[in-house]
Amino acid sequence: MSPSTAGLAGTAMTASAPVVWGTTFVVTTELLPAGHPLFAGLLRALPAGLIALAITRTLPRGTWWARAMVLGVLNIGVLFPLLFVAAERLPGGVAATLSATQPLVVAVLAVTVLRQGPSLWSFGWGVAGVVGVGLVVIGPDAGFDAFGILAGLGGAASMALGVTLTKRWGRPDGVGPTAFAGWQLAAGGLFLVPVTFLFEGAPPAVDGDAALGYLWLGLVGGLLSYVLWVRGVTTLPVTSVAVLVLLSPIVAALLGAVLLGQSLGPVQLIGFALALAAIAAGQITPRSAKPTMPTSPTSPTKPTEEGITR
């Protein structure tokens, strides 16, 4: 396989994760019991993380215990409940547009955390992507709940920081993407256990539809998708990965049209074209872009930061 073909294959595999995440909005609104976003996040994360750990039998070592917890809280423990809160309190279009701001946050963090040169290319196409998603999914009857908006923006910022730190720290030698994803899912899930029971109390009644929804979000939207996602984050340019999240609201809008009978007019089609152009442009690195500077002194290739198999 040529390098270009391998790169395309890696991008396609990574892109499948936000495609699956695009089903979250319809699954949440159509299948899950309302009013339990923390419980939904918990069931999406913890079982998937424990399954990954059982399969790989690989635990963190040294500084990776703390790093796995930080990444798990940012990428899972904070992100999941905020996504479900935004999905419940806002129209799907508004929530999706807020989540589409993540590439903009990553473009800023790439400068401040990864010490890359400022990229007008990445920032400009990030803005274009948000505009495109907004044209696709925000209708004239969109509501703007303040708490829901804060939750949507908070979720985007949390995942953007998690993605950036994952890129900065890398993945320990000898630890595959399944184990690495399992660390984060388990850590995020354990973080959510006391938070869920503190704020939501007893779990809701789960009928057949809800069980199917939780299984989909946990096994496919959690375990499988995050394995592919962390593999992409650690191997592809961070801004190229971040812009792929625009696929989530696009898929959500398509599912709304196909499953819920929502219409797509000329404005939505223009938005689709703009968002897809932003995704494609995000995979191109301009020649003027500066390479990433060396990361922290504690490089993930040092023996003290390797994973250990048990």
Tens place of pLDDT per residue across the chain (310 aa):
555 666 788 899 999 999 998 888 788 888 999 888 889 889 999 999 999 999 999 999 999 999 999 999 999 999 877 877 776 777 656 666 777 788 888 888 888 888 887 678 878 888 888 888 877 766 655 556 778 888 888 988 999 999 999 999 999 999 999 999 999 999 999 999 999 999 889 899 999 999 999 999 999 999 999 999 999 998 888 888 889 988 888 888 788 777 766 666 788 788 888 888 988 888 887 665 544 444 444 444 443 333 443 3
What is the rounded CA–CA span in Å between residue 161 and residue 105? 8
Residue 59 three-state SS: strand
φ and ψ of 253, to 5 deg: -65, -40
Tally of CB atoms within 10 A around 301: 10
What is the rounded CA–CA span in Å between residue 14 and residue 229? 5
What is the rounded CA–CA span in Å between residue 109 and residue 124? 15
Query: pTM for the complete prediction?
Result: 0.81
Alpha helices (H) in the chain, listed in sequence order: 3-21, 24-30, 37-56, 64-72, 79-89, 92-99, 102-112, 120-137, 146-169, 177-199, 208-215, 225-235, 238-242, 247-259, 266-282
Query: b/e string for 251-282 if b means 16 or more Cβ within 10 A?
Result: bbbebbeeeeebeeeeebeebbebbeebbebb
Task: Determine contact, residues 133/102, Cβ cutoff 8 Å.
Answer: no
φ and ψ of 6, to 5 deg: -65, -40
pLDDT at 294: 43
What is the rounded CA–CA span in Å between residue 44 and residue 164? 22
Task: Determine contact, residues 169/74, Cβ cutoff 8 Å.
Answer: no
pLDDT at 291: 46
Among 13, 156, 18, 34, which Cα is nearest to 83's? 156
